[in-house]
Structure formats: structure tokens, C-alpha cells
Amino acid sequence: MSESRRWRAILCGLLALGGWAAAVADTVQVGSKRFTESYILGEVVRQTLVQAGVAASHQQGLGNTGILEQALASGAVDVYPEYTGTIVREILKREGNPTLAELNQWLAPRGLKAAVPLGFNNTYALALRESVAEKLGLKTLSDLARLPAGALKLGLSHEFQVRADGWPALQRAYGLALSPGAALDHGLAYDAVQAGQVDLIDIYSTDAKVGRYALRVLVDDRHFFPRYDAVLLMRSTLDSRPLEQLAGRIDERAMVALNATVELDGVSFADAAQRFLAAGTAPAPARQGFAARLWAPDLWRLLAQHLGLVFGSLLLALVVGVPIGIWAWARPRWAGGLIGAVGVLQTVPSLALLAFLIALLGMIGFWPAMLALFVYALLPIVRNTHAGLAGVPQGLTLASRALGLKATQTLWAVQLPLALPVLLAGAKTAAVINVGTATVAAFIGAGGLGERIVAGLAVNDSALMLAGALPAALLALGVQWGFDVLERRLQPSMQPGMQPGMQPGVPR
């Protein structure tokens, strides 16, 4: 290829990359929290934008308010459905029920705005089985104040236990002696209370399962909870005009019906949103079986994201971990402490590590997730690099030095080839572990097969969870098999000192 043609090819590649980056930058990123209603509303927003000719992508189930707030601040998300009470108390750390205009005055310094009031109030409430409420004579939240600490077993959600408008403030406001106990995912709470595993749970007033499970919702007789009017919280630079058609379109009855369509009828978030936007004229989608969920169109996208996380982190761990292992092997006095320090990193809980990296990088998504997986992949690679080099017979090293090879030449020509089987075993261990660990990345919008697991957990849909878990398990087996094949193919070339064309054990 001539020099001019080479530069033209490079220029075309850069222009194509620039066009792709611009297309990504022009795509509106819609976020949602990790519960049914937020998933549905996020999908309604995405489809509304697409129908208006605006490119949009939905990052599902990103977690709690703090993560979405960080995502808005960093630009990883442009808009997501939120509630006025949450904005006031959790994000702004204020009190009261301000008007939308007042709310936007408070949000303006943060570069945010609230727009498109959707038309319903989804307040918090506490509920318990009707039989338990009748037995204890409970009708209001004030009635709970006369119960001793162990009278009821609570199953409160993780976020409700720590929110400014959640359990701690509610307990003080009503003088409750009850203990919150271990936190429970909101998607599992209804089945837990129905089975009698817990007695009292926090709910949303638009939850579809309240009537189906015959629960008594306790009256907030002191009006502790503020209004939670559904709005769209967005970056101030986002044009909200394509979304204005949603203003006032969803009342509480409509939202309950949408939640029921997903939670009780097994319809996907996208199909429920599509039917709503078609004003009910689209045919009701049938409940999907396991095979349909497993082979849904998003499978290949999720697989590609999962593989990107696993092998991106593995490559980075090899680039960093192999030199560390070599350095530790060359300096035996430091080896124990260094490998021990790397091992300590692997003991950090995955969610804690993700939270730390989000704060450190100021973003959510692929990079914090990949760096977290890199940390977990580091120990097997460092340890096996050290162990493989330490297992090389000393006689071979002395023989190569006697032939005039320098230390670096001996390392590359003799010691590393002999250590390669052990090093590959470490890489295989790291890759297989990261296939499973990468499912946690869905909590921060990094995609992957964990998206299905998290979404299934939100609606307590075991088929959807299995549709994510099964491909992840098969992927782990496939990765292990791939490394086994690689080890067998490299086996003939693992003998040191061989020249091209030589076969192992055959003299030239």
C-alpha cells in the first residue's frame, strides 16, 4: 500500500470513528431505577423520543437515587423518571412540597430541571397482611407505636432503610419501637409477606400487587410522607419538548394497570410501554415463555457487552499483573507482601468497590465496571505468574546463562515459555470468575447478562432471571473450554530453545 493510500485509509477510519462518537453523543440516554414502575416509565420515555425522531437508548435498572444523581451529573444519563418528594428530600436535602417552578429554581444550580409531570402521585406506605392487621388492630401508622420491638418482623427495602424520607425519620416521627431488621429487595417483598416470612413491608401506592395479595395499607395519619408526583428529571440542556405529550397522561389507575401488566401478566417492559403509547389499540402481548425470553433480541447485545467487560478487564490484568508477578519472583523478599496486598484487593465486596470507583471516576457504566473486574482478575494472574516462574528448574536457567544469554533473554526465551502453562491457568481462572462477577455490572448501567437478572429480580420473575443466569453459566463453560483448547494448541511451543520448523523432541 502506498503512503498516500495508507494515510487516506487512516483518515477515513478517523472520520468513521468521529461519526460513530458523534452519533453516540447525540443519543439521549434514558435511565431508570431498579423497580418495575421505573423500568416501564423509562421505556415509555425512550419510545416517545424515538417516535419523535430523537435517537434514544434506555439504561435499565441503574440502582438507587444516588447512582442516578451521579449519572445525571456526569452526563452518563440525560433523563430519568423521578418523584418530587425524592427530589426534595434525597437530592436537594430540603423539606416541603414545592411547586414545579420552585423545584426548578432549586435544581438550576445543579444544571438540572424537572419537567413533564406525568399525572400521578406514587407515595410510600407501609402494608401488612390483612389477617395480621386485624389480629393486632392496626389501621394507621400511629397504631404501630404501641407495639414492642419484636412484635412484627419487618422486610423493608434497602433504599427505604437509609433514605431521608424513609424508615429512620418515620420511626422518629411516630415514636416506633420496631426494629427494621435485614433489608429485603422490593421485588421479593410481596412474596415474602404473603408467605409469612416477614410481617410489614414498605410499598408504593401504585404497586399492582397490593390488592392481589390482600394487604392492608396503613394510613399515614400524621402526613409524614410528602407528595411523590411523577416527573422527568433531566439535564437542563435537554430539550423536553418531544416529551411534553406525556404530561398528565398517566393517572394512578393507569400506572397500577401498567405495573400489573408486567408483574402479574408477565409482559416485558418494552411491550407494556408500546401498548400504552398506542393508547391500548395494539394487541395485548402474550405472556412470554422461557425460550422466548432466552432468545429475545437483546441476547446478542448483552453477550457482546458481557464479553467486552470480561476480556477487557482480563487484558488489562495481564498487562499489569504479569510484570508484577515477574517483579515479585525476581525479588523473593518482597513477594509475600506484594501478593498478599493484591489478595486484599480481591476481598473488597463488589458493590462497595463499584461505589468507590463511581465516586473516584465521577461516572457510571463500562469503565468503573471494567476496572472493578480488573481488580478481581489481578490476583490469579500475579500469583500464577510468580508460581510458574518459581517452578522453572534452576538447572535450565544456569544452562542458558552458561550459553551466554543475558537475564532478560533467559526470561523471554526459557523461563516465561516454561511458566506459560501456569500463567494461562491463572488467566483462565480470572476469566471464568469474571464471567460471573460481571453480572453485578448491570447495577451501574454497564450492561451484560446481569441486566436480565436484575430486571427479573425487580419483578420477582424467575424465568427472566434464569434467561440471564443460564447464558452466563454457559459462557463461563465456553470460556474455560476456549482456554483449554488454547493450552493444548500452545503445548508444542512451550519448550524453550526451539527454532521455527522444529518439532518437540525431534533433533534438527
pLDDT at position 8 over 70: no
pLDDT at position 341 over 60: yes
- 479 or 95, greater pLDDT: 479
Integer distance in angstroms from the first to the last C-alpha of the chain?
A: 38
- pLDDT for position 239: 95
Grid coordinates given for 121: 402521585
Give, in order, the Cα–Cα distances in Å from 143 to each of 27, 153, 156, 175: 50, 16, 18, 10
pLDDT at position 243 over 60: yes
175 φψ region: left (φ > 0), alpha (ψ -120 to 50), beta (else):
left
Backbone phi and psi for residue 76, each to the nearest 5 degrees, phi listed first = -70, -25
pLDDT at position 282 over 80: no
- pLDDT for position 57: 93
pLDDT (tens digit per residue) in 36-75:
999 999 999 999 999 999 999 999 888 788 889 988 988 8
pLDDT (tens digit per residue) in 345-383:
888 888 789 888 888 888 888 999 999 999 999 999 999
pLDDT at position 280 over 80: no
Please give the mean pLDDT across all residues of the chain.
87
Q: Which SS3 state, helix, strand or coil, does residue 286 take?
A: coil
Q: Which SS3 state, helix, strand or coil, does residue 38 take?
A: helix
Q: Which SS3 state, helix, strand or coil, does residue 31 take?
A: strand
- pLDDT for position 493: 54
| Mean pLDDT calculated for residue range 432-450 | 90
pLDDT (tens digit per residue) in 129-173:
999 999 999 999 999 999 999 899 999 998 899 888 899 999 999
**Angle between the 332-346 and 366-390 helix axes, to the nearest 10 degrees?**
150
Q: Is the separation of the CB atoms in 46 and 83 below 8 Å?
A: no
Environment class of 161 (CB within 10 Å of its CB; exposed 0-12, middle 13-18, buried 19+):
middle
pLDDT (tens digit per residue) in 283-309:
556 667 788 889 988 899 999 999 999
Using only C-alpha atoms, the chain has a radius of gyration, in whole angstroms, of: 28
- pLDDT for position 487: 84
- pLDDT for position 110: 94
For the CA atoms of 14, 15, 19, 20, the dihedral, rounded to the nearest 10 degrees, stands at -30
The C-alpha angle with vertex 365 and arms to 163 and 379, in degrees rounded to 5, equals 100
Give, in order, the Cα–Cα distances in Å from 215 to each of 154, 190, 432, 437: 14, 9, 44, 37
